């Protein structure tokens, strides 16, 4: 069964992929320089700070002396990351020895930012102008609701339970690769990548969506560097504070509208002014995926008899569980179901793997069982893997059967030809029979035709 992997790169991978000219333009902004510094591995941060006031190139051998011998692998990772982001440039002397120096523009703006500080991208609005702002708890609930609503739209637009304000153009961008549709008469269906996407944790899902949003920016007439710069700038706003939409450009206002659909910001309208309020999803955008992945409180209990109890009021949780389990009934705060062979076979056919299911159950284990080792009973995880292996016992390969060769020499020549092309599956020298992959059918026909001449 083919497996489609979704890679959710973090923000700095997107920054590193920008052309050199656009990347250098980003470093005109001191806040972006700080965001880049925050994202670096610890050793890379140390190198930047050590080199911040050194204006001449440093040899690679000198930098290697800054770490102990057992830290060389981390040293190489740090150097590679700094070069990818053009924070540091690599040159070679006459003896062809590598030398490193900080990007002058990055170095100057980071020096200025550290010594003199910086004015925030924009000041929050005074409380006497804004209406009652949501509390941090209310803002968190809003972000979760918007995100779940978006995911429910991916599963089925009719399952959302409410009319959403997610624009059709935004949904098309996000659905790319996650949904497929043969024609306009039938509803879109989740692809293998789509099913796998739903089992990801929220942070991984967010990075995947943001990556798609940035990747498709040019199609919408938006410069990807401008988009990345504004998203990085958002990470310096304060969660829960109100910021006037009149302080941003028309392009940034359209980006804010898109981000509000996903719960990254909340839009509010006053009598005369309108403003946006960043949630934690927006203010964490510049931090690496590994740093933002925090364990949320789980909700699933699996028993050794394969019974499943999910303590959740979320409709989304119920729909995700239906991907690999049989949901029997749902109470206001409890979903009851079971994992069986039929429900898992359906999941496997949709492209979900046993490891993804086991990982989802472990990551979302209820606190009462999360501290146990293992948090999911071993007989359950073993059986899930065994049921998947049942489907992989027989591998189907389109092939063609050949017999009645005119002579032993022609048969052996045909075997050698098929073997050379990597298409020989089986041969019976005694009866002169041969099975060859269908991939080389045309080549095999031409070879046998020449043998008859």
What's the domain count of the chain?
A: 4
The two structure tokens encoding residue 240: 């829960």
Task: Report yes or no: 32 and 232 within 8 Å, Cβ to Cβ.
Answer: yes
Nearest CA-CA partner of 26 in 103, 116, 91, 141 = 103
Lowest mean pLDDT among 200-204, 262-266, 331-335, 380-384: 200-204
Q: What is the pLDDT of residue 9?
A: 46
Q: How far apart are CA 36 and CA 301, in angstroms?
A: 40
Q: Which residue has the tokens 């009462």?
A: 368
Indicate if the pLDDT at residue 365 is higher than 90: yes
Is 436 domain-assigned? yes
Q: Which of 341, 367, 391 is the C-terminal boundary of a domain?
A: 391
One domain for residues 152 and 219: yes
- The domain in which residue 349 lies consists of 300-391
pLDDT at position 187: 66
Residue 86 lies in a domain: yes
Tell me which of 41 and 452 has the higher pLDDT.
41
Return the number of other C-beta atoms located less than 10 Å from residue 20's C-beta: 8
Rounded average pLDDT over 183-205: 77
Residues 405 and 378 in one domain: no
Between 106 and 351, whose confidence is greater?
106
Same domain, 151 and 236: yes
The candidate with the shortest Cα–Cα distance to 302, out of 250, 354, 370, 230, is 370
Query: CA–CA distance from 390 to each of 336, 347, 387 (Å)?
Result: 27, 14, 5
User: Which among 320, 322, 306 has a CA at the least distance from the CA of 381?
Assistant: 306
Judge whether 327 lies within some domain.
yes
Specify the 3-state DSSP secondary structure of 296.
Answer: coil
Query: Which residues does 123 contact at the CB level (< 8 Å), separation at least 6?
Result: none
Domain presence at residue 128: no
**Mean pLDDT across 230-249:** 89
Question: Cα–Cα distance between 99 and 118 in angstroms, integer?
Answer: 31
pLDDT of amino acid 391? 81
Long-range contacts from 415-423, C-beta under 8 angstroms, 24+ separation: 417/443, 417/444, 417/447, 418/444
The distance between the two most distant Cα atoms of the chain, rounded to a whole number of Å, is: 98
Q: Per DSSP, which regions of 144-212 are E strands? A: 179-180, 189-190
Q: How many helices (H) and strands (E) does the chain have?
A: 22, 15
Lowest mean pLDDT among 24-28, 49-53, 200-204, 345-349: 200-204
| 165 or 323, greater pLDDT | 323
How far is Cα of residue 205 from the mean position of the Cα atoms in its chain?
Answer: 6
Does some domain include residue 5? no
Tokens of 170: 């935004």
Q: What are the φ/ψ torsions at residue 394 (nearest 5 degrees)?
A: -115, 125
Give the C-alpha separation, 366 to 230, whole Å: 38
Residue 132 pLDDT > 60, yes or no?
Answer: yes
Helix/strand/coil (H/E/C) assignment for every residue in 306-358: CEEEECCCCHHHHHHHCCCCEEEEEECCEEEEECCHHHHHHHHHCCCCHHHHH
Mean pLDDT (whole number) for 38-45? 90
Cis peptide leading into residue 374 (ω within 30°): yes
Q: What is residue 118's predicted lDDT score, i.e. its pLDDT?
A: 66
What number is the average pLDDT over the span 217-233? 85
Mean residue pLDDT of the chain comes to: 84
Question: Which pLDDT score is estimated for 158?
Answer: 37
Structure-token pair, residue 125: 């609005």
- Positive or negative, the CA dihedral 119, 121, 126, 129 is positive
Dist CA 225 CA 25 (whole Å): 8
- pLDDT average, residue stretch 179-186: 66
- Give the end of a domain, one of 363, 391, 419: 391
The CATH number linked to 414 is: 3.30.70.2610
- Specify the CATH number for the domain of residue 104: 1.10.10.10
The model's pLDDT over 398-432, given as tens digits with 9 standing for 90+, comes to 899 999 888 898 899 899 889 888 889 999 988 99
- The answer on 405 and 386 residing in a single domain is no
Which of residues 391, 412, 439 is at a domain's end?
391
Task: Tell me the mean pLDDT in the region 427-446.
Answer: 89
């Amino acid at each position: 069964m083919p497996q489609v992997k979704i890679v959710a790169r973090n923000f700095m991978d997107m920054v590193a992929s920008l052309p050199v000219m656009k990347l250098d333009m980003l470093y005109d902004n001191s806040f972006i320089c700080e965001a880049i510094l925050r994202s670096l591995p610890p050793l890379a941060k140390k190198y930047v700070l050590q080199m911040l006031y050194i204006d001449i190139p440093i040899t690679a051998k000198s930098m290697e002396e800054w770490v102990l011998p057992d830290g060389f692998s981390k040293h190489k990772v740090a150097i590679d990351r700094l070069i990818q982001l053009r924070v540091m440039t690599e040159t070679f002397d006459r003896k062809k020895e590598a030398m490193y120096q900080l990007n002058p523009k990055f170095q100057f703006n980071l020096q200025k930012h550290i010594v003199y500080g910086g004015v925030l991208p924009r000041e929050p609005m005074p409380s006497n102008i804004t209406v009652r702002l949501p509390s941090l708890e209310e803002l968190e609930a809003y972000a979760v609701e918007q995100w779940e609503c978006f995911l429910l739209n991916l599963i089925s637009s009719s399952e959302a339970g409410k009319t959403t304000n997610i624009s059709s153009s935004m949904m098309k961008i996000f659905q790319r690769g996650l949904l497929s549709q043969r024609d306009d008469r039938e509803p879109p269906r989740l692809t293998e990548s789509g099913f796998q996407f739903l089992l990801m944790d929220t942070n991984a899902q967010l990075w995947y969506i943001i990556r798609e949003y940035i990747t498709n920016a040019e199609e919408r007439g938006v410069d990807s560097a401008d988009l990345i710069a504004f998203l990085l700038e958002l990470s310096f706003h304060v969660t829960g504070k109100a910021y006037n939409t009149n302080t941003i450009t028309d392009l940034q206002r359209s980006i804010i509208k898109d981000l509000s659909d996903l719960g990254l910001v909340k839009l509010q309208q006053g009598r005369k002014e309108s403003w946006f309020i960043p949630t934690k999803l927006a203010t964490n955008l510049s931090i690496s995926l590994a740093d933002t992945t925090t364990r949320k409180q789980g909700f699933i209990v699996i028993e050794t008899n394969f019974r499943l109890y999910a303590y959740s009021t979320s409709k989304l949780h119920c729909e995700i569980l239906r991907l690999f389990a049989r949901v029997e009934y749902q109470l206001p705060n409890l979903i009851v179901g079971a994992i069986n062979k039929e429900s898992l076979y359906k999941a496997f056919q949709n492209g979900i793997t046993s490891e993804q299911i086991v990982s989802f159950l472990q990551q979302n284990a209820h606190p009462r069982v999360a501290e146990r080792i293992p948090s999911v009973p071993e007989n359950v995880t073993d059986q899930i893997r065994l049921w998947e292996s049942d489907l992989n016992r027989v591998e189907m390969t389109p092939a063609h059967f050949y017999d009645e060769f005119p002579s032993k020499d022609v048969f052996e020549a045909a075997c050698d030809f098929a073997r050379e092309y990597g298409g020989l599956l089986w041969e019976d020298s005694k009866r002169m029979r041969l099975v060859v992959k269908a991939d080389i059918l045309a080549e095999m026909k031409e070879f046998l035709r020449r043998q008859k001449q």
